Amino acid sequence: MISQKIQSVRGMNDILPDEAEFWDLFDETIRSWLKSYGYRPLRLPIVEPTPLFKRAIGEVTDIVEKEMYSFVDSLNGEPLTLRPEGTAGCVRAVIEHNLIAQQPQRLYYMGPMFRHERPQKGRYRQFHQVGVEALGFPGPDIDAEQILMGARLWDDLGLDGISLQLNTLGQFAERASHRAELITYFERHSESLDADATRRLHSNPLRILDSKNPALEELIHGAPKLIDYLGAESMAHFEGVQRVLRDAGLPFEINPRLVRGLDYYNLTVFEWVTDRLGAQGTVCAGGRYDGLVQQLGGKPAPACGFAMGVERLISLIRDAGGEVRAAAVDVYLVHQGIAASRLAARVAEGLRDRGIDVLFHCGGGSFKSQMKKADASGAGFAVIVGDDEAAAGAVTLKPLRATGEQPNPQKRVSVDAVADEIMSSILDWDET
């Protein structure tokens, strides 16, 4: 009987070696970029208590209403959720471990997030984010720094065509008066609202501004603008951010419809968008969330941060022709016969001691078939051990990549000399 195949969960993808090597390289770039701005890593749980997200993200948001993978721990009845984003967990950890009691912190994390959305290009149910958070900094300087960080990263990654959209959400009280006016306005036009907007009208009217329904375009265009309700302090913060961006020569567009899908934001919000990914054009989004630390039970502290969609960025890099050569090993170790295999195993470990990467042939087979595998592996050398070599305490070293005019013949090398021989050839190659 043939058993039925089990497949991955819809919207949750395997990342196979060719792709995963690319991801590793991407991670390295990300880590050194973050280090250059003084950010330090955090590793956080993937599962958190469900109330964390309800309280942080807001009950009336797409994420909490319909996108969370929530379940009850069958052993103790605890309501749990696979994290749909990282800020809530990061702030929970910062409070739990008292991280900002002495000084502000620049922190980052990366890893999978989970949202039950309709899978399509650039939108998955398990996707990956790099999250960057600065806690304890009140001024617009850090908002601007985080925005400028983005610009540098696109450069580091060789990406162009990513542009900056900026807005301010003001403070809670300012939003409240704007919200009242917004409700009045949309109520006057209730016959033109779609089902989503009607549902949001009293719970989260700001989100109507974010609607992607073209039929609402004109109505939204004429809606009261939050910026007209901002006080002097909020305006000064917004101006402060813009000043740094202008000084740095970074172009941006102020988009009054940019409201973000999570409730915890105030003042600065921003998104980095591209038109090269179809409908899923936002690669990075963030802003200030001064109320969240207190909302989650900590001593009030200002904060701001952003998150990047790794799948979307990687697909942009790929489309721009960014390639990564599969990281081949240095040596493929070919061996046959009992004594030869034992010597080969010792040689392999000796080479690894010297920092040389070795793929040790497993599974037997003729010299000919092993040599084929060696060629296909992309290794720079085959190290061959047969009965003759084993008897002589030596190996045959065969360069697999011809360089220059030299034919690079294979040669017999003593076991003790093989590492040096390989190292010096690698150096020669690097010079040419």
* Residue stretches of the annotated binding site for L-histidine: 85-87, 115, 129, 133, 260, 264-265
348, 388 in Cβ contact below 8 A? no
Pinpoint the alpha helices (H) of 167-322. 172-188, 195-203, 217-221, 232-247, 292-295, 310-319
Nearest residue (beta carbon) to ligand ATP = 309
CA Rg value for the chain = 28
Instruction: Assess contact for 209 and 220: CB atoms under 8 A.
Output: yes
Contact 268, 303 (CB under 8 A): no
Distance CA(99)–CA(60), nearest Å, equals 30
Decide whether 285 or 340 has the Cβ nearer to ligand ATP.
Answer: 285
Dihedral of CA atoms 149, 151, 157, 162 in degrees, nearest 10, equals 140
* Smallest separation (angstroms) from ligand ATP to the CB of 316: 10
Return the number of the residue (30 or 284) whose C-beta is nearest ligand ATP: 284
Angle at which helices 87-96 and 50-57 cross, to 10° = 110
Q: Compare residues 87 and 105 and give the one whose CB is closer to ligand ATP.
A: 87
Q: How far is the CB of 34 from ligand ATP (least distance, A)?
A: 16
CB of 204 to ligand ATP, least distance (A): 14
Output 173 or 279, the one with its CB closest to ligand ATP: 279
SS3 131: strand
Taking alpha carbons only, the member of 267, 276, 272, 275 closest to residue 285 is 272
**Contact 268/304 with Cβ under 8 angstroms?**
yes
Is residue 98 a contact partner of residue 297, using CB atoms and an 8 Å limit?
no
Smaller CB separation from ligand ATP, 39 or 53: 53
Q: Report residue 288: phi and psi, to 5°.
A: -90, 145
| Closest distance of CB 11 from ligand ATP, Å | 8
Closer of 39 and 332 to ligand ATP (Cβ): 39
Write down the least CB distance from residue 420 to ligand ATP, Å. 49
Nearer CB in complex with ligand ATP: 284/296:
284
Q: How far is the CB of 156 from ligand ATP (least distance, A)?
A: 18
User: Where along the sequence are the contacts to ligand ATP (CB under 6 A)?
Assistant: 85, 115, 117, 122-124, 127, 129, 261, 280, 282-285, 307, 309, 311-312
In the complex with ligand ATP, the residue whose CB is nearer, 182 or 283, is 283
* Residue (23 or 185) nearer to ligand ATP, CB: 23
Residue type, 174: E
CB of 41 to ligand ATP, least distance (A): 19
CB of 142 to ligand ATP, least distance (A): 19
Look up tokens 């601007």; give the residue: 144
- Determine how β-strand 163-168 pairs with β-strand 394-399: unpaired
Binding site per annotation, positions:
85-87, 115, 129, 133, 260, 264-265
- Residue 407 burial (CB < 10 Å; 0-12/13-18/19+)? exposed
Least distance from ligand ATP to the Cβ atom of residue 122, Å: 6
Unique residue bearing structure tokens 């969330």: 289
Write b or e for each residue in 93-129: b if 16 or more Cβ atoms lie within 10 A of its Cβ, otherwise e.
bbbeeebbeeeebbbbbbeebbbbbeeeebbbbbbbb
